[in-house]
């Protein structure tokens, strides 16, 4: 990677404040991130987010959320992606040079076939991401708790994001 790319990656990381864990991401969390975090410059968005995003349209927006502390061999960031009827929190890990290691959608809201799919995520101190999601009918917005699902991701010491048991 060119030296200017490495400095661009450092600039990209600066818009993601380091946070203390645990932290829970809900639909409303992005409001605080939007209010307190600087926007990502267009060139940096293109180089480090859009370059790895296959589901992009001209209406998509990105909001920097945070960066995990105490990562030694990688950088882990979370951004909020707002597309048409699809809002996602995305966890991405990079090498020190800004190369993509791993990427996962960890929470969000999506409209699908007359239903609203919502999920929330909690990231704990050990880099384990607990996700709970459910479906509500678009008409009454009521969730049926018995239809909720939960799953877990783990960020490994090398930056890989894997499903856990």
The token pair at 118 is 């919502």
CA 113, chain centre distance (Å): 24
DSSP single-letter state for residue 159: S
Residue-level pLDDT at 140: 60
Residue corresponding to tokens 């966890």: 91
Residue corresponding to tokens 């856990």: 164
Torsion angle, CA of 161/40/99/66, rounded to 10 degrees?
-30
Query: What's the pTM?
Result: 0.90
Residue-level pLDDT at 6: 82
Indicate whether 99 pLDDT > 50.
yes
Residue-level pLDDT at 138: 55
134-157 tens-digit pLDDT? 887 655 656 666 678 999 999 999
Q: Is there a contact between 112 and 119 (Cβ–Cβ < 8 Å)?
A: no
Q: What is the mean pLDDT of residues 21-38?
A: 91
CB atoms within 10 A of CB 142: 7
**What are the beta bridge partners of residue 25?**
121
């Amino acid at each position: 990677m060119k030296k200017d790319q490495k400095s661009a990656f450092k600039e990209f990381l600066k818009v993601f404040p380091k946070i203390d864990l645990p932290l829970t991401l809900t639909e409303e969390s992005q409001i605080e991130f939007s209010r307190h975090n600087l926007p990502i410059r267009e060139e940096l968005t293109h180089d480090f987010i859009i370059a790895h995003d296959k589901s992009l349209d001209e209406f998509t927006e990105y909001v920097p959320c945070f960066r995990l502390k105490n990562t030694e061999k990688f950088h882990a960031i979370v951004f909020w992606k707002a597309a048409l009827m699809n809002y996602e929190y995305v966890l991405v890990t990079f090498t020190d040079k800004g190369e993509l290691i791993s990427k996962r959608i960890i929470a969000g809201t999506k409209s699908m076939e007359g239903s609203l799919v919502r999920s929330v995520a909690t990231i704990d101190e050990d880099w384990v991401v607990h996700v709970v999601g459910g479906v509500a009918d678009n008409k009454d917005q009521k969730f049926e708790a018995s239809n909720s699902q939960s799953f877990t991701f783990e960020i490994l010491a090398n930056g890989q994001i894997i499903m856990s048991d």
